Amino acid sequence: VARRFYLNEVATADDALVTAAEWDECAVDDMLEPGDEITLGFDGSKSEDSTVLVAMRIRDRFATVIGAMEKPPGAEGRDWEVDREYFDGLIASVMAQYRVRGFYSDVAHFESYVDKWSHEYASTLEVQACAKSAVGWDMRGRLAQLTAATERLVAAIQDGSLRHDGGSLLRRHCLNARRRPNRWGISFGKERKDSPKKVDGFASLQLADMARADLLAATTKKKQRTGNVW
């Protein structure tokens, strides 16, 4: 507010999904420990957008970036492509180090890997991304569900129930996200289609949060169905 009124700066875009103050209030001095129960969210790209893997601890909604790649600036970025094998190995390492109970990944640009992960990890995951895939959650469709998930995540940031480690990449991507109204409510997007301000970290965070929400809902439903039969 001071920057806006006294220095005549635009501190937050009018259509920003969350503000810097809201995001920064959720930062804590914490980190994942081996064996933690987590969910994963992954948004992959080929070359232009960022590729980000986010983990979320189930018990307290603590989120952190496990791995990310972004196109280098200038000449270094010419003909650059994401190293898909790196992320395949990274996910295998995460699966071995933590108890991953849910893993949702966008499908675009990583179709064959998403199929591979679904096949390899379906038996250990406790929620499925969709009826046809344990991991693949296609963000190009299912807008009503995506909108509800966006609103739930934004509310968690605003009320402080989401926690994160203060990492710069996730902060930048979340503050880049813009409000996108639709018939079901408010979803998210980039400021414009060709914008260099990436939001893939927010997408990955949301996928991890969706997997966690579905897991908790499934666990609650399972508990409600148990009991003695007389």
pLDDT at residue 12, as a whole number:
52
pLDDT of 10 higher than 50: no
User: Which tokens in the block code for residue 89?
Assistant: 């190995």
pLDDT of 150 higher than 80: yes
pLDDT at residue 74, as a whole number:
81
**Average pLDDT for residues 25-38, to the nearest whole number?**
98
C-alpha distances in angstroms, 86 versus 44, 52, 71, 204?
Answer: 12, 12, 15, 17
C-alpha distances in angstroms, 60 versus 37, 187, 198, 211, 215?
Answer: 10, 24, 27, 14, 14
pLDDT in tens, 162-207: 999 999 999 999 999 999 999 999 999 998 888 889 999 999 999 9
**Average pLDDT for residues 103-111, to the nearest whole number?**
94
**Average pLDDT for residues 27-36, to the nearest whole number?**
97
pLDDT of 220 higher than 90: no
pLDDT at residue 18, as a whole number:
97
pLDDT of 3 higher than 80: no
pTM attached to this predicted model? 0.89
**Average pLDDT for residues 47-66, to the nearest whole number?**
95
pLDDT of 29 higher than 80: yes
C-alpha distances in angstroms, 181 versus 6, 18, 117, 189?
Answer: 31, 14, 33, 10
**Average pLDDT for residues 82-94, to the nearest whole number?**
97
pLDDT at residue 159, as a whole number:
97
- Across the chain, what does the average pLDDT equal? 91
What is the identity of the amino acid at 19?
T
Nearest to 37 by CA among 62, 13, 11, 16: 62
**Average pLDDT for residues 116-142, to the nearest whole number?**
94
